[in-house]
């Protein structure tokens, strides 16, 4: 197992437990009916937001280091769309483009 995969698994588990408000809302249909109740984002404290921001920054730093380690040890590139999906969504909540950050 490559190190990048392990780090992604860790943050997926951590963020699902720690920040339930980052889970995506139930998808809305393309049409609106009067009976639909819209998802409302719960209020999030500045402290929780700042903690999530620190977690995202930590994830970015760790993944960059893990990619270097994996390359040096001939580990395969193991990022999958499924693993990246939640991480991208959580980063987007705080205004970070995870793909762009990991390429930098």
Q: pLDDT tens, 1-49?
A: 588 888 988 888 888 888 776 665 444 445 555 555 555 556 778 888 8
CA torsion 4-20-48-103 (nearest 10°) is 30
The predicted pLDDT at position 37 comes to: 52
pLDDT band, residue 101 (cuts 50/70/90): very high
- Tell me the C-alpha distance between 80 and 83, whole Å: 5
pTM of the predicted structure, to 2 decimals: 0.71
The pLDDT of 56-85, averaged and rounded, is 88
Q: Which of the residue ranges 15-24, 56-65, 72-81 has the most confident prediction, judged by mean pLDDT?
A: 56-65
Query: Which residue do the tokens 């049409």 mark?
Result: 31
């Amino acid at each position: 197992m490559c190190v990048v995969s392990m780090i992604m698994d860790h943050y997926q588990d951590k963020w699902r437990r720690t920040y339930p408000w980052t889970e995506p809302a139930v998808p809305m249909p393309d049409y609106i009916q009067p009976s639909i109740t819209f998802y409302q984002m719960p209020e999030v404290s500045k402290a929780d937001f700042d903690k999530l921001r620190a977690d995202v920054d930590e994830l970015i730093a760790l993944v960059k280091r893990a990619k270097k380690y994996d390359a040096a040890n001939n580990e395969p590139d193991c990022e999958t769309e499924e693993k990246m999906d939640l991480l991208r969504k959580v980063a987007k909540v705080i205004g970070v483009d995870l793909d762009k950050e990991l390429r930098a």
